[in-house]
Structure 1
Amino acid sequence: MFTGIVELIGTVQEYKPFDDSESGGQGVSITIKDATPILTDCHIGDSIAINGICLTVTAFDADTFKVGISPETIKRTNVADWKQDAKVNLERAVSQDVRFGGHYVQGHVDTVATIVSREAEGNSIIFGFQLNDTQYMKYIVEKGFICIDGISLTVTKADDTNSTFYISMIKHTQENVTLPLKSIGSLVNIEVDLTGKVIEKQITLALENQISNESSTLNKMITKLIDQRIQEHFANK
C-alpha cells in the first residue's frame, strides 16, 4: 500500500526488454538509479512504486535497484516510455510510522491518460487529462482523489462527456515530482480511487441478489409497479 506522496525522483539507468529480461519473465527488467535515500532499509522482495506502479525489488545496491515488469503491466501503463535517463517518481510501501498524507493507493494502475492542457494559475499549474479508457471516468469526481504517475492529487473538474479531468498542482509539488517535466501529449499512469469501485461492486451485487429473489422487497416493488401500469393502461382503453 502507498500514499501517493512521492519520496524521491529517480532515473532509469537500464531498460532491458523481453527476452533479455532476467527478472521479469517475458516482460522487461528495469534498473533505477539515484535512489540512495529510499534504499537504506531496502530488502529483496520489497515493494516500491515507480510512477504509481507497485513493483518488486529483485536486486539492489547503495544507489540502484532492479524490478521486473510483466507484459500485462506494460500494456496497461506508460512503462514503454521509460527510456534510459527518464525521470520517475518513487515511493516505498508504507510502514507503521508513516503519516498518511495522501490517500489510499494500491499501486495497481487502471489505465493511462494523455496530458491535453497545462496552464499557469498564479504559482500553480492546472493540468488537463483525457482518459484512454473511458470506462474509468465514472470513478473520477470533482474534489475526489486520483493518483497520477504515483502522485496523490485532487480532481478540480471532471467532464464526463469528453472523458477529461483537471488537477491543480502547487509549487511545492511541482518541485518534487516529474509531472511538470512532461509536455502536452505525454502519457501518465492513472489509478482511480478504490472507494468508487468498492461501492459500485457492492451496489451491483445487492441489486442482482434482490432481482434474482422473487420474494425480495425490490422484486415486490417492481411487480407492483408493473401491475399498476397494466391496470392504468387497460383502464384508459
Structure 2
Amino acid sequence: MFTGLIEEIGTMRRIYRKGEAMILHIDASTIMNDVQLGDSIAVNGVCLTVVAFDKTSFSVDVMPQTFRHTNLKLLQSGSKVNLERAMRANGRFGGHIVQGHVDGTGTILGRSEDANAVVFEIRPDQESVFKYMISQGSVTLDGISLTLIQVDQEAGTFAVSIIPHTLAQTVLQQKESGATINIECDVLGKYVDHLLHFRSQDHSGKQASRMTAQFLADNGFI
C-alpha cells in the first residue's frame, strides 16, 4: 500500500523489452537506502517488485497486463518517473490509500495557471472510472495523491489543481497537453460499488441481490 506522496523522481537507465514484457532499470538515490529484494515500489503509480538492485539503481519486471494498461510502455531511456516505497505500518498517512493498481490511462487536454496553482484537465480513456470520482474526492495520477476539483462526466473530463511544491517534486512538471497519465481511482469507492452491486445465487438458480436491510444491519451500515 502507498500514500501517493512521491519520494523522488527516478531516471530510466535501461529498458529491456520482449513483446509486451519489460525489465526496467531505474536510477534513484533517496529510496535506495533500505531497498531489499521483493520490496514494492510504485513507479508512476504502478506497484512493481524489486528483482535486483545496487547502490544507485534497482530493477523491476513489467508483465503484459501492466504493459497494456499503463503508460510504462511509453518509457524510454532517460525518461523520468515518480517513485514511492510502500508505506511503513508506523508511518504517517499523508495522502490517501493508494494500491498501485492502475485503473487505466488518460490524456492531458491542457494545463492552465490559477494564481499559485496549475490546473490539469484530463480525459480518461475509460468512461467507467467516472463512477468512482466525486468533486473534492481523491484520485491518483502517476502515483500522486490529488484532489478532484471538477468532474464532468458529460464532457468526459476531470480536473485537478497542483500546488508548486507537488509540481516541482514530480514528473507532472514535464507533462504537457497530449501526454498520457496513469489513473487510479479511490479504492474505497470501488469497494462500495462492489458491495452495492453484489449478487449471489438464490435457491431457484437466479441472480438475487443480497443488499437487504438485514444485510446492511448485519454488516454495521445501519
TM-score (norm 2): 0.89
Aligned equivalent of 2:23, options 25, 29, 41? 29
Counterpart of 1:51 in structure 2 is: 44
SS in 1 for 2:41: strand
Task: Give the aligned CA root-mean-square deviation in angstroms.
Answer: 1.9
Asked if 1 retains the 8 angstrom alpha-carbon contact of 2:167 and 2:173, the reply is yes
Unaligned runs of 5+ in 2: 214-222
Structure 1 residue runs of 4 or more that deviate by more than 3 Å after TM superposition: 206-209
1:1-237 correspondence runs (5 A): 1-18=1-18, 27-33=21-27, 35-205=28-198, 212=208
Q: Give the superposition deviation at 1:97.
A: 2.8
Report % sequence identity: 39
Q: Give the superposition deviation at 1:95.
A: 0.7
Letter in 2 for 1:48: I
Alpha-carbon distance between aligned partners in 1 of 2:160 and 2:104, rounded to the nearest angstrom: 17
SS in 1 for 2:177: coil
Counterpart of 2:218 in structure 1 is: none
Alpha-carbon distance between aligned partners in 1 of 2:58 and 2:156, rounded to the nearest angstrom: 36
Larger radius of gyration: 1
Q: Give the superposition deviation at 1:138.
A: 1.1
TM-score (norm 1): 0.84
Asked if 1 retains the 8 angstrom alpha-carbon contact of 2:50 and 2:58, the reply is yes
Q: Give the superposition deviation at 1:206.
A: 6.4
Q: Give the superposition deviation at 1:43.
A: 0.6
Q: Which has the higher helix share?
A: 1
Task: Give the number of equivalent residue pairs.
Answer: 208
Unaligned runs of 5+ in 1: 20-25, 218-237
Counterpart of 1:227 in structure 2 is: none
Asked if 1 retains the 8 angstrom alpha-carbon contact of 2:104 and 2:182, the reply is yes
Q: Which has the higher strand share?
A: 2
Q: Give the superposition deviation at 1:123.
A: 1.8
76 and 138 in structure 1: CA distance in 2 versus 1, 3 angstrom threshold: same
